[in-house]
Amino acid sequence: MEIMIGERVKEVRAENKMTQREFGEKLSVSQDTISLWEKGKSLPSTEYVILICRKFGVSADYLLGLKDF
């Protein structure tokens, strides 16, 4: 199974009409960190997966690519 966390992070950010900088500010990380996640060059820690899910109302299953909704 292909890991698609970066794609899903980008989708969540785009759906919320946020720049990488704005999204990073909401999570207290840099724009560079968001860019690396979206490009698949690094992965968010469990702590950040949970934070994204809580702040943006998505499930961990969706963010991790286990479900399409």
CATH of residue 29's domain is 1.10.260.40
Looking at the domain assignment, is residue 53 inside a domain? yes
What's the pLDDT score for residue 1?
43
Residue-range definition of the domain harbouring residue 52: 5-63
- Residue whose C-alpha is closest to residue 34's, from 47, 48, 54: 48
Q: Give residue-wise pLDDT tens across range 3-29.
A: 689 999 999 999 999 999 999 999 999
Residue 37 has pLDDT above 70, yes or no: yes
Residue 52, domain member (yes or no)? yes
Q: Is residue 69 part of a domain?
A: no
Share of the chain above pLDDT 90, in %: 87
Residue 63's closest CA among 1, 11, 5? Answer: 5
For the chain, the residue count is 69
Is 27 inside a domain boundary? Answer: yes
From residue 60, how far is each of 9, 21, 32 by CA, in Å? 11, 22, 22
- Does some domain include residue 50? yes
How many domains is the chain built from? 1
Residue 2 has pLDDT above 50, yes or no: yes
Kindly report whether the global pTM for this prediction surpasses the value 0.85. yes
